[in-house]
Structure 1
């Protein structure tokens, strides 16, 4: 996928829900699962999407929560909606993070340029920023697919 197509794919899911991310079971590619929903008035059905970052040579995940918020968010009851109601802290039980400010390509990227030169194929660097984490990836290509609930480690439904 060309750089402009990658950025368009990123823009398509701006401010949607990141529901799961991590290396594939074979540990080469990195998957980002997104629950995308349009304004209900459009009649467009929600979709579960898989963004697969192929040949991922670097994946770094960093929390954006401050130490103060982390300190208030250590209680395991924040993992369960029923138990988290009266607690202060980051409610992990929501099981998704807003893709805001979203995904963007880093250009220029010294890491991507080095990998491109070493492997003689294009590499890119992406930053995925949410309200809970920042994910930084160096990868060769991107594929985007709609996936069914059985094809994902975690899927959000409209129910």
Structure 2
């Protein structure tokens, strides 16, 4: 699970052998990696952005991987660390929402409810687990 298949970076529009955009064509293989990792209880780590001098592309790929649910992303250059870390670090708004979810579910459970509403959204046990993961990542 920790490595990209051969040809992974050779199926997109390339410049000097590096993918030049975070194209949607990556979604399919990335989902396979993610689902396989989850099915086997493994961390899902996305491959690196080969265009290490392109800060915008590095950030875009990192945000895509984080949004899809990957646990992390490989980097191949120190210049990629900050953008990648930022993509996988929950924002203050995400943390605030996660805290509201945890509190609402705690109060709902005390009242015998299996689901509650937070900010106009239906929240249940699956959302609680996600909120707890967000808060755990923020504490790292």
Q: TM-score range by the shorter chain?
A: under 0.3
TM-score, normalised with respect to structure 2? 0.24
Q: Which has the higher contact order (CA 8 A, sep 6+)?
A: 1
State the structure with more CA Rg: 2
Higher helix residue share:
2
